[in-house]
């Protein structure tokens, strides 16, 4: 009986002490030690509960790391950008998704939620600082964006426009809306262009990005005085998307749906499920509001965000190429709308 | 009333040897202690997502369903034999786990207050847990703290008081297990009461070299209900007359031991029935706002929820039942309200049926989470048995409604037949007994319909 008692005491102690020590020790000591590279656990809470924990991760360029994302409360999604093409997809509460990746170059990257997890979803971001091993104490600086710099040099404040526009509570100077009565459609663009005299400058993508469709419309009207304005507007729609013929890329549509549609609506009507929760009514990508809009301004708004509107900045998530693709998609939504 | 009983130990001698073994209880406790410890550790350190945390899934889905659907209805208080919560305190008291330590249990030998020798503390404790159940049942860390608190309280009480004071008078779970154990077809009893009466040394109470005196402070010689016998099997070991046995008997036989009917137990029946109704509304109902109120998302709303729960459970249900019982008394020719407590025992089968139906509702729907958490108990991305990524799959949803209807109907019929029997006590005319019982049966019917409405929409 004494021997049995000794065994019983040993078993009880092994349960009360050994079990916690073994499980926690395996997770926090043995498992990381067995891994060939660093393993970082990132817990994803809804933004009101703290968002990503931790919010900052520092790595050394060339370091391979396993990032393990745990969804703690609601369904989240995780992607890392800009330019890495990492999208872990949806993570159900309690699920874990991980990626092992080597960050080759110094730079700043952002891991962000891609699922509308709360009204503050867009705040749910974390930063990966990849430092140069030669100077590990100096943080990589964000690069300046030449498009935004050019707008500033031109004297264009991307938040300020001369006319009012749709807001939740009244007119806002950052919006312009022109009632043209025109509903240009890209599908009619090619037919509309047939027989028209098109100024050479309209063939320039660079020019089109720095000007509005209305300006293009006026140029076309000067050269084609007898043409119907509706036909000219269709021609402008065709010209505006002439550098991206066919349907938008699936990745761009998915990116719009994941990041923009909650406010701007899946069809760009400004009627997303979160539209009523923003400080300013989200823009609708419709002819009245888009014909007086420049592509480079749209680009700048996406990259930098909209001051005081709740429009987040996406410059830390998307590359310039991804941003231009999104701008083109906004025009596609505008010029494929059938009222 | 005498009911047919089947002495299991006369037929299964091996069972007697197992029950007399000093290894039995510690071995079972050790198994449950592993699960209990893991539930606390995973609750404290694992994922906050309840559906992926062992602590939530194995305590509030697996254990709960096992307890209320299988163990209590079929085996009575058998869970108390293996419950790990009082184990550390009891082992420290005895300074032994397996062996019979000849010394007296080491405590400060305080006396438990006489006024607390009832179920009221357990009633309050259960209500306390019920008020916070929206949080306790869904948030692993909170659940773990509550689970940890139980053995700590039990340990504290075991330092002050001899025997299982925690289990007998404090444990919120033990209270309703005791109440519903009266339904079980299994009982621990003496074979012959007169043997106990004539036995001078009363080893089952005082203990002897083979075992401890009853830790539950029960004298087996008087045992006529399962309510307070923790089935620790010490009396099997200590009885020198081989006078203790396990019987099979009809379901609910204890409910008719009318001399033992008490107000604290009656209120336990009201609390359990009311809580089953409210839990069904909160956790299975379509009202998201009610769930968020219960989940303590805002204090004012939770206060409203708490006030509503207490009002319904402590005042509305007992009040309405009292009216019905008074009507039944009048119809039976008794003083109005004189059988209020007795009639309350008819809610035991109904309440147990309601809890079984409620538990089936979530175990069928959410039971599959157990397969994934067994492989990844902390939600850390482990995959111990290859089942971590098994998808959430409701089990036989087409069968659930039939089972719930069947269980609730069975509970109602049992309750109604009890009511007629209580109403007809002293009556010869069965028809008059039925008429007298109708008000109480109407109450039971309304409650059953309320459950059916909640489960079937």
Per-residue pLDDT of chain B (457 residues; tens, 9 = 90+): 578 899 999 989 999 999 999 999 999 999 999 999 999 999 999 999 999 999 999 999 999 999 999 999 999 999 999 999 999 999 999 999 999 998 888 999 999 999 999 999 999 999 999 999 999 999 999 999 999 999 999 999 999 999 999 999 999 999 999 999 999 999 999 999 999 999 999 999 999 999 999 999 999 999 999 999 999 999 999 999 999 999 999 999 999 987 888 999 999 999 999 999 999 999 888 899 999 999 998 999 999 999 999 999 999 999 999 999 999 999 988 888 889 999 999 999 999 999 999 999 989 999 999 999 999 999 998 999 999 988 889 898 889 999 999 999 999 999 999 999 999 886 768 888 999 999 999 999 999 999 999 998 7
Say yes or no: B404 contacts chain A, CB-CB below 8 A: no
Alpha carbons B367 and B67: distance in angstroms, whole number: 14
Q: What is the pLDDT of residue B424?
A: 86
Q: A157: distance to nearest CA of chain B, Å?
A: 42
Say yes or no: A20 contacts chain B, CB-CB below 8 A: yes
Tell me the angle at which helices B397-423 and B430-456 cross, rounded to the nearest 10 degrees. Answer: 160
A chain contacts of residue B377, beta-carbon cutoff 8 Å? 23
End-to-end C-alpha distance for chain B, whole angstroms = 41
Which of A12, A71, A72 is opposite residue B30, by nearest beta carbon? A12
* Window 51-110 of A, Cβ < 8 Å to B: 68, 70-73, 93-96, 98
What is the domain class of A36-131 according to CATH?
mainly beta
Q: What is the pLDDT of residue A175?
A: 53
Mutate to test the interface with B, among A40, A68, A94, A99 (most CBs of B within 10 A): A94
Q: What is the pLDDT of residue A214?
A: 93
CB B38 within 8 Å of CB B284? no
Domain with CATH 2.60.40.420 in chain A: 36-131
Alpha carbons B89 and B161: distance in angstroms, whole number: 10
Encode chain A (339 residues) as per-residue pLDDT tens digits.
788 999 999 999 999 999 999 999 999 999 888 888 899 999 999 998 899 999 999 999 999 999 999 998 899 999 998 989 899 999 998 889 999 999 999 999 999 999 888 888 888 999 999 999 998 888 878 788 999 999 999 888 777 554 444 444 444 444 555 667 788 999 998 899 998 999 999 999 999 999 999 999 999 999 999 899 999 999 999 999 999 888 899 999 999 998 899 899 999 999 998 888 888 888 899 998 899 999 999 999 999 988 777 888 898 899 999 999 999 999 999 999 766
Tokens 């609708």 correspond to what residue? A284
Say yes or no: A4 contacts chain B, CB-CB below 8 A: yes
Long-range contacts of B380-386 (CB under 8 A, 24+ apart): B380/A27, B380/A41, B380/A70, B380/A96, B380/B46, B380/B47, B381/A68, B381/A70, B381/A96, B381/A98
Say yes or no: B41 contacts chain A, CB-CB below 8 A: yes
Q: What is the pLDDT of residue A123?
A: 85
- Number of residues in chain B: 457
Q: How many CB atoms lie within 10 A of CB B201?
A: 11
User: Chain A: residue nearest B48 by CA?
Assistant: A72
Say yes or no: B37 contacts chain A, CB-CB below 8 A: yes
Say yes or no: B98 contacts chain A, CB-CB below 8 A: yes
Which of A4, A70, A94 is opposite residue B51, by nearest beta carbon? A94
Q: B381: distance to nearest CA of chain A, Å?
A: 6
Alpha carbons B266 and A338: distance in angstroms, whole number: 69
Q: What is the pLDDT of residue B1?
A: 58
Q: What is the pLDDT of residue A164?
A: 46
User: Chain A: residue nearest B383 by CA?
Assistant: A96
Q: How many CB atoms lie within 10 A of CB A298?
A: 22
Q: Verify whether the Cβ–Cβ distance A1 to B98 is below 8 Å.
A: yes
Q: Give the bridge partners for A90, in sequence order.
A: A77
Alpha carbons B186 and B225: distance in angstroms, whole number: 11
A chain contacts of residue B34, beta-carbon cutoff 8 Å? 15, 19
Q: Verify whether the Cβ–Cβ distance B96 to A5 is below 8 Å.
A: yes
Alpha carbons A334 and A236: distance in angstroms, whole number: 12
CB B278 within 8 Å of CB B451? no
CB A235 within 8 Å of CB A196? yes
Asked if residue B394 has a cis previous peptide bond (ω within 30° of 0), the answer is: no
The pairing of beta strand A56-60 with beta strand A125-131: parallel
Q: What is the pLDDT of residue A302?
A: 94
Q: What is the pLDDT of residue B307?
A: 97
Say yes or no: B53 contacts chain A, CB-CB below 8 A: yes
Q: What is the pLDDT of residue A171?
A: 42
Which of A20, A23, A72 is opposite residue B47, by nearest beta carbon? A72
Cβ-proximal residues to A19 (8 Å cutoff; 6+ apart), any chain: B34, B37, B38, B41
Q: Verify whether the Cβ–Cβ distance B49 to A9 is below 8 Å.
A: no
Q: What is the pLDDT of residue A339?
A: 60
Tokens of B394: 């409701």
CB A161 within 8 Å of CB A149? no
Tokens of B279: 């839990």
Q: Verify whether the Cβ–Cβ distance A16 to B37 is below 8 Å.
A: yes
User: Chain B: residue nearest A17 by CA?
Assistant: B37
Q: Verify whether the Cβ–Cβ distance B37 to A20 is below 8 Å.
A: yes
Alpha carbons B273 and B298: distance in angstroms, whole number: 27
Q: Verify whether the Cβ–Cβ distance B49 to A71 is below 8 Å.
A: yes
């Amino acid at each position: 009986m004494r021997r049995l008692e000794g065994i019983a005491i040993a078993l009880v102690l092994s349960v009360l002490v050994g079990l916690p020590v073994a499980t926690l020790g395996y997770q926090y000591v043995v498992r990381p030690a067995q891994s060939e590279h660093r393993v970082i656990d990132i817990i994803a809470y809804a933004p009101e509960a703290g968002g990503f924990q931790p919010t900052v991760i520092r790595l050394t360029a060339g370091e391979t790391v396993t990032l393990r994302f745990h969804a703690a409360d609601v369904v989240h999604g995780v992607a890392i950008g800009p330019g890495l093409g990492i999208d872990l997809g949806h993570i159900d509460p309690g699920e874990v998704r991980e990626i092992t990746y080597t960050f080759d170059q110094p730079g700043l990257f952002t891991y962000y939620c891609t699922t509308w997890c709360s009204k503050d979803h867009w705040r749910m971001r974390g930063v990966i600082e990849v430092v140069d091993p030669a100077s590990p104490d100096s943080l990589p600086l964000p690069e300046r964006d030449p498009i935004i710099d050019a707008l500033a040099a031109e004297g264009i404040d991307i938040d300020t426009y001369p006319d009012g526009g749709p807001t939740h509570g009244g007119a806002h100077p950052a919006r312009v809306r022109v009632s043209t009565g025109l509903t240009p459609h890209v599908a009619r663009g090619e037919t509309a262009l047939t027989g028209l005299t098109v100024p050479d400058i309209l063939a320039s993508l660079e020019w089109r990005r720095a000007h509005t469709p209305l300006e293009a419309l006026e140029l076309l009207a000067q050269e084609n005085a007898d043409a119907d304005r509706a036909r000219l507007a269709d021609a402008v729609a065709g010209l505006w998307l002439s550098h991206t013929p066919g349907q938008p890329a699936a990745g761009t549509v998915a990116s719009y749906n994941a990041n923009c549609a909650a406010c701007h609506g899946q069809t760009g009507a400004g009627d997303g499920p979160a539209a009523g929760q923003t400080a300013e009514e989200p823009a609708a990508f419709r002819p009245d509001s888009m014909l007086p809009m420049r592509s480079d301004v749209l680009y700048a708004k996406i990259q930098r965000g909209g001051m005081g509107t709740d429009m987040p900045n996406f410059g830390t998530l998307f590359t310039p190429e991804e941003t231009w693709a999104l701008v083109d998609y906004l025009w596609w939504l505008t010029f494929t709308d059938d009222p | 009333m005498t009911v047919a009983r089947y002495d299991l130990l006369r037929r299964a001698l091996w069972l007697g040897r197992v029950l007399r073994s000093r290894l039995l209880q510690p071995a079972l406790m050790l198994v449950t202690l592993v699960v209990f410890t893991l539930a606390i550790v995973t609750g404290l350190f694992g994922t906050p997502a309840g559906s992926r945390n062992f602590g939530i899934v194995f305590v509030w889905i697996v254990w709960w369903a096992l307890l209320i659907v299988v163990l209590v209805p079929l085996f009575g208080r058998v869970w108390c034999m293996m419950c790990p919560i009082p184990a550390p305190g009891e082992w420290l008291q005895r300074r032994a786990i397996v062996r019979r330590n000849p010394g007296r249990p080491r405590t400060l030998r305080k006396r438990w207050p006489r006024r607390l020798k009832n179920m009221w503390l357990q009633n309050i404790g259960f209500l306390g847990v019920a008020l916070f159940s929206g949080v306790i049942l869904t948030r692993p860390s909170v659940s773990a703290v509550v689970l940890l608190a139980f053995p700590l309280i039990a340990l504290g009480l075991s330092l002050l008081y001899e025997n299982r004071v925690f289990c007998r008078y404090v444990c919120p779970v033990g209270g309703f297990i005791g109440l519903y154990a009266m339904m079980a077809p299994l009982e621990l009893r003496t074979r012959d009461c007169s043997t106990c009466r004539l036995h001078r040394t009363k080893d089952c109470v005082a203990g002897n070299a083979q075992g401890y005196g009853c830790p539950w402070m029960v004298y087996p010689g008087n045992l006529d209900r399962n309510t307070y016998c923790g089935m620790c099997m010490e009396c099997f070991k200590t009885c020198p007359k081989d006078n203790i046995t396990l019987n099979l008997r009809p379901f609910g036989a204890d409910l008719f031991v009318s001399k033992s009917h008490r107000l604290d137990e009656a209120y336990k029946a009201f609390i359990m029935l009311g809580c089953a109704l409210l839990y069904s509304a909160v956790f299975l109902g379509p009202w998201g706002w009610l769930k968020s109120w219960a989940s303590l998302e805002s204090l004012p709303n939770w206060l409203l929820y708490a006030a509503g729960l207490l009002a319904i459970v402590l005042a509305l249900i007992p009040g309405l039942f009292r009216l019905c019982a008074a009507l039944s008394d009048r119809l039976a020719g008794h003083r109005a309200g004189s059988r209020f407590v007795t009639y309350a025992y008819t809610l035991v089968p109904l309440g147990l049926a309601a809890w079984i139906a409620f538990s089936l509702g979530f175990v069928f729907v959410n039971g599959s989470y157990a397969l994934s958490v067994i492989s990844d108990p902390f939600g850390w991305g482990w995959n111990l048995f290859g089942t971590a990524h098994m998808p959430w799959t409701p089990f036989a949803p087409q069968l659930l409604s039939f089972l719930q209807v069947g269980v609730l109907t069975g509970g109602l019929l049992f309750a109604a037949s009890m009511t007629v029997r209580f109403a007809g006590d002293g009556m010869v005319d069965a028809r008059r007994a039925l008429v007298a019982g109708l008000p109480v049966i109407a109450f039971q019917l309304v409650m059953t319909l309320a459950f059916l409405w909640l489960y079937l929409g």
